């Protein structure tokens, strides 16, 4: 529903819309560097061309002895470019420091990257695949990865930060424009890297679409949906579908189609029935029983998933028997 919010703000030829507070500063510096470079490129190339033609070697013309020095000229062509690059450095460096120092008291959202999806966790423990943030509020991302290096990239916020396994990195921004924007992974992370794409929804301060309202409504989807529908949503939210299909094709992991109640053969020989306890254990301790023919690549969801979500998942997997 929220994804249908209007696309706010117009981009330019070079940039998407400016949807966060620092975006204008980033763009201004970019344009400054661009136009200074264009100006000097044209200036130097023009003078060079004129000199090449005008002072070329000609029959019967002896070159004059060139003057060794022109103090005024030398000071001018040293001082002006120095001032320009010092300005570029100063603006870039202070901007960098500002971006690397999240303000205290910023609204905090946990980000977990995994091959190949994003998980956003709000202060009340609710998790989504699409990032939702309030407009006009300083918002901080505390990010980590379950597997390899990913990178959190929101072009409309001019925000990019690596997301590393076993470590926390931070990014922060103040969204200024209500709307829906792209969120990419900007670090090559394997087969489906190019599909590791989602959206950021910037909610208005008040009204039915406000961030508060959205969070309250979205948080208790399990109580609103039937267990099977709720379980399907958890399956999507938690990225189970990255490895487990519903149509019988096996990917990194086995398909769930028709799996319920069948006997599964484990890697070390014994058989086990695909039932409630087996599913629960597979989610919390995936390495405890590894299915024959598969690599133990499933991440544990221990500490990340609520009991009600597991129960809903079980109802959903049961419904796939037919
Ligand atoms: Cu990635």
What is the 193 CA–ligand 1 centroid distance (Å)? 5
* Residue partners of 284: CB distance under 8 A and separation at least 6: 300, 301, 302, 305, 310
User: How many angstroms separate the alpha carbon of residue 146 from the centre of ligand 1?
Assistant: 11
Q: How far is the CA of 261 from the centre of ligand 1 (A)?
A: 35
Kindly list the structural domains of the chain, giving each domain's residue range(s) and its CATH number in brackets, ordered by start. 1-53+102-219 (2.60.40.420), 222-318 (1.10.760.10)
What is the rounded CA–CA span in Å between residue 126 and residue 211? 13
Q: Does residue 2 have a pLDDT over 80?
A: no
Q: What is the pLDDT of residue 36?
A: 95
Ligand 1 centroid distance, CA of 141 (Å): 16
Which residue, chain included where needed, has tokens 């306890």? 277
How do residues 243-290 score in pLDDT, each as one tens digit?
899 988 888 899 999 899 999 999 888 999 999 999 999 999 999 999
* 155 CA to centre of own chain: 9
Please indicate whether residue 23 or residue 304 has the higher confidence score (pLDDT).
23
CB of 189 within 8 A of CB of 150?
yes
- CB burial of residue 73 (10 Å; 0-12, 13-18, 19+): exposed
Residue 145 Cα to ligand 1 midpoint, Å, equals: 9
- Structure pTM? 0.71
Q: What is the pLDDT of residue 5?
A: 40
Query: Ligand 1: distance of its center to the CA of 199 in Å?
Result: 14
Rounded mean pLDDT, 155-166: 94
pLDDT digits (tens, 9 = 90+) for 36-47: 999 999 999 999
The better pLDDT of the pair 182, 219 is held by: 182
How far apart are the CA of 274 and the centre of ligand 1, in A?
31
How far apart are the CA of 19 and the centre of ligand 1, in A?
A: 23
Q: How far is the CA of 221 from the centre of ligand 1 (A)?
A: 27
Ligand 1 center–CA 162 separation, angstroms: 10
CA dist., res. 182 & res. 184, Å (int): 6
C-alpha dihedral sign at 237, 243, 249, 254: negative
Ligand 1 centroid – CA 133 distance (Å): 21
Interval between CA 161 and ligand 1 midpoint (Å): 12
pLDDT digits (tens, 9 = 90+) for 183-220: 999 999 988 899 899 999 999 988 888 999 899 888 88
Q: What is the pLDDT of residue 62?
A: 83
In whole angstroms, give the CA distance from residue 63 to residue 53.
14
Averaged pLDDT score across all residues of the chain: 90
- The rounded Å distance from CA 148 to ligand 1 centre is 8
Which range is least confidently modeled, 32-36, 91-95, 105-109, 233-237?
233-237
Residue 155 predicted with pLDDT over 70: yes
pLDDT at residue 1 is higher than 50: no
Residues in the chain: 322
* Separation of alpha carbons 244 and 238, rounded Å: 11
């Amino acid at each position: 529903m929220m994804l249908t919010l209007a696309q706010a703000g117009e981009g330019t030829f070079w940039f998407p819309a400016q949807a966060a507070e620092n975006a204008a500063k980033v763009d201004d510096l970019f344009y400054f560097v661009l136009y200074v470079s264009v100006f000097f490129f044209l200036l130097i190339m023009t003078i060079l061309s004129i000199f090449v033609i005008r002072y070329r070697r000609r029959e019967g013309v002896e070159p004059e002895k060139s003057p060794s020095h022109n103090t005024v000229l030398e000071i001018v062509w040293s001082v002006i470019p120095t001032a320009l690059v010092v300005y570029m450095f100063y603006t870039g460096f202070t901007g960098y420091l500002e971006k690397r120092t999240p303000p205290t008291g910023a609204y905090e959202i946990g980000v977990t990257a995994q091959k190949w999806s994003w998980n956003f966790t709000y202060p009340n423990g609710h998790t989504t695949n699409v990032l939702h943030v309030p407009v006009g509020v300083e918002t901080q991302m505390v990010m980590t990865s379950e597997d390899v290096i990913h990178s959190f990239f929101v072009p409309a916020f001019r925000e990019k930060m690596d997301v590393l396994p076993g470590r926390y990195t931070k990014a922060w921004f103040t969204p200024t424009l209500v709307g829906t924007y792209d969120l990419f992974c900007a670090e090559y992370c394997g087969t489906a890297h190019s599909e590791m794409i989602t959206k950021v929804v910037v909610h208005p301060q008040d009204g039915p679409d406000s961030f508060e309202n959205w969070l309250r409504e979205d948080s208790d989807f399990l109580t609103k949906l039937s267990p099977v529908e709720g379980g399907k949503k958890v399956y999507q939210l938690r990225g189970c579908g990255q490895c487990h299909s519903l149509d019988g094709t096996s990917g990194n992991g086995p398909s769930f189609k028709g799996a319920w109640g069948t006997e599964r053969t484990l890697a070390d020989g014994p058989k086990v029935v695909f039932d409630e306890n087996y599913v629960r254990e597979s989610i919390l301790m995936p390495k405890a029983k590894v299915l024959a023919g598969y690599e133990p690549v499933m991440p544990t969801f221990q500490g990340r998933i609520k009991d009600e979500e597991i129960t809903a998942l079980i109802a959903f997997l049961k419904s796939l028997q037919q």
